[in-house]
Amino acid sequence: MSVVVRPVNIEFPEQIDRYWFGNSPFKTHFLNSITLLFPDVEQYIIRNVRQWLKQTSQGEISQDVRAFIAQEAQHAVQHKNFWNNLHQQGYEITPYLRWLRVLLNMLEKRLSIRLNLAIVAGIEHLTALMAEFALKDNFLAEAQPQLKALFEWHAAEEIEHQSVAYDVFQSATQSYPLRLVGMIVAHVLILGFLNFGLAVMLYQDKQLFNSQVWQEMFQFWFTKDKFLAKAFLNSWDYCKKHFHPSQRDNLVLVQKVIS
């Protein structure tokens, strides 16, 4: 599947329900947390891929890598647009972003470019799983329409470009231990900050000690949606010696969203 850049501009109405996803504080803030996390993570991904290309490609960059970078840049911009709404709803997101940026900068400064590319590939592996989850079984059916469009479009493009970062990493090194270390760091980073962002939003919204929220959270991670088990099995696939993202059977999900 080739990677295609689509012009997208999602405008969010000024007034959006505080609990815009199924009237659920948990679901809403979980997705708000994704919206806080991904713009900076996507910029980190772009910087590392560009850095590697600058060192090696002598001006020759494949169309898919170009399109991958452009897609990630657009995702960051569109999610960031919703930060205005979060500000308007009274949330203070700057301290969270400061922590995130400190960590991402540290990874870039302290680790080799190859290890950063391994982390990038690991992040893309986890986002492909998140994208499958979002697009299966009409998960976003109860979300506010513009936010539903944002997350479905983003998810579809994550699946569409799921092989690109892995291929860039493999072009840099075929080291199996580095692939595994990158995957572990990526999971700690993404799952850690997703939960941190969720806690920040719930706390500011005075919902952190709401038992309904904790019940839904437990269902999501452990019982109903079993996302933690899915993430574990997904990582297990990644550990297979001859794994490649193109082995994922998920392209049908993309076609439902983008034609």
- The site for Fe ion (CB under 5 A) is made up of 72, 75, 124, 158
**Judged by CB, which is closer to Fe ion: 2, or 211?**
2
**Judged by CB, which is closer to Fe ion: 72, or 205?**
72
**Judged by CB, which is closer to Fe ion: 43, or 171?**
43
C-beta of 166: minimal distance to Fe ion in Å? Answer: 11
C-beta of 116: minimal distance to Fe ion in Å? Answer: 15
C-beta of 124: minimal distance to Fe ion in Å? Answer: 5
**Judged by CB, which is closer to Fe ion: 208, or 258?**
258
**Judged by CB, which is closer to Fe ion: 64, or 124?**
124
- Are 52 and 117 in contact by the 8 Å Cβ rule? The answer is yes
C-beta of 215: minimal distance to Fe ion in Å? Answer: 30
| Secondary structure, 3-state, the chain | CCCCCCCCCCCCCCCCCCCCECCCHHHHHHHHHHHHHHHHHHHHHHHHHHHHHHHHCCCCCCHHHHHHHHHHHHHHHHHHHHHHHHHHCCCCCHHHHHHHHHHHHHHHHHCCHHHHHHHHHHHHHHHHHHHHHHHHHHCCCCECHHHHHHHHHHHHHHHHCCCHHHHHHHHHCCCHHHHHHHHHHHHHHHHHHHHHHHHHHHHHCCCCCCHHHHHHHHHHHCCCCCHHHHHHHHHHHHHCCCCCHHHCCCHHHHHHHCC
C-beta of 111: minimal distance to Fe ion in Å? Answer: 20
C-beta of 68: minimal distance to Fe ion in Å? Answer: 7
The residue at minimum Cβ distance from Fe ion is 75
**Judged by CB, which is closer to Fe ion: 24, or 108?**
108
74/92 Cα distance (integer angstroms): 24
